[in-house]
Chain A
Amino acid sequence: MKLLQNKVAELFENGTINLMIGFKEALTKQPVPCFIEKASEIEQLIYTKDCKNNLSVYLHKPEVKQAGKIGILANIATLRALVQLTSENQFWDIEKTVLTVNDKEEVIVFSDMEEVEAYVQANFPEFSEEDLKLLDYLESLSREDRWKYWTEQFSACIKCYACRAVCPMCYCPQCTVECNQPQWIKTSAQTTGNLEWHIMRAMHLAGRCINCGECGRICPVGIPVHLLTVKMNQDLFKEFGTKSGFALKGDYALNSFKPDDKEGFIK
Chain B
Amino acid sequence: MEIKTITSANIPVFFNNLVKSGKVVVAPVLKKSGKVFFESVQSYDQVSTDYIQTAFSAKSVVFPEVEELFSYTKKEDGDFEFRNDMSNVPETVIWGLRPCDSSAFNYLTDFFLKENPDTYFKLRKERTTLISVSCAKADAACFCTSVGLNPGNVTGSDILLTAMGDSYYVEISTEKGKSVIDTALFTDSTEKSKEEFLAKVETKFSMDEIRERIQTAYDSAEWKHESMGCLGCGACAFSCPTCTCFDIQDEGSQESGKRLRCWDACGFGQFTRHASGHNPKSNQTARRRQRLMHKFKYSVENFGIVSCVGCGRCIRVCPAHLNIFENILNVTKA
Contacts and interface: CB of A to CB of B under 8 A. Distances in A.
A26 interface: yes
Contacts, number: 111
Interface string A160-172: 1110111000000
A189 B140 CA distance: 31
Nearest to B56: A220
Interface string A139-151: 0000000000000
Interface stretch (B71-79, B165-173, B229-237): B229-237
B277 to A, nearest CB: 11
A160 B234 contact: yes
Contacts of B238: 158, 160, 220
Interface residues of A, number: 37
B231 A165 contact: yes
Contact of B319 (A26, A27, A165): A165
A232 interface: no
A220 B326 contact: no
Contacts of A220: 35, 55-56, 235, 238-239, 317
A250 B239 CA distance: 39
Interface string B15-35: 000000000000000011111
Contacts of A166: 231, 233, 319-320
B231 A188 contact: no
Contact of A33 (B32, B55, B237, B321): B321
Nearest to B65: A189
B95 interface: no
A198 B141 CA distance: 31
Nearest to B250: A183
A223 B235 CA distance: 14
B283 interface: yes
Contact of A162 (B31, B247, B319): B319
B326 A164 contact: no
Interface in A73-113: none
Contacts of A37: 225
B229 A187 contact: no
A190 interface: yes
A53 interface: yes
A34, A190, A220 interface centre (most CB from chain B within 10 Å): A220
Interface in A50-64: 53, 57-58, 61-64
A186 B252 CA distance: 10
Nearest to A26: B321
Interface in B309-328: 315-317, 319-321, 323, 326
Contacts of B31: 222
Nearest to A175: B270
Question: In which size bucket is the chain B interface?
Answer: 35 or more
Nearest to A159: B234
A32 interface: yes
Interface string B271-310: 0000000000001110000000000000000000000000
B66 interface: yes
A30 interface: yes
Contacts of A57: 231
Interface string B150-172: 00000000000000000000000
A159 B232 CA distance: 13
Nearest to A160: B234
A63 B285 contact: yes
B212 interface: no
A83 B285 CA distance: 28
B210 interface: no
Interface in A170-199: 178, 186-190
Nearest to A60: B231
Contacts of B66: 188-190
A165 B283 contact: no
A246 B265 CA distance: 36
Given A26-B323, A63-B284, A220-B238, A164 B225 contact: no
A26 B326 CA distance: 10
Contacts of A53: 319-320
A35 interface: yes
Contacts of A28: 139-141, 315-316, 321
Contacts of A186: 249, 251
A3 interface: no
B268 interface: yes
Given A61-B284, A158-B263, A33 B35 contact: no
22 contacts: A26-B323, A27-B326, A28-B140, A28-B315, A33-B320, A35-B225, A37-B225, A53-B320, A63-B227, A63-B285, A158-B238, A159-B234, A160-B235, A160-B238, A161-B268, A165-B319, A166-B319, A188-B65, A189-B66, A189-B262, A218-B235, A220-B235
Given A62-B283, A158-B65, 10 more contacts: A27-B326, A28-B315, A29-B140, A57-B231, A61-B284, A64-B228, A165-B231, A187-B247, A220-B235, A221-B33
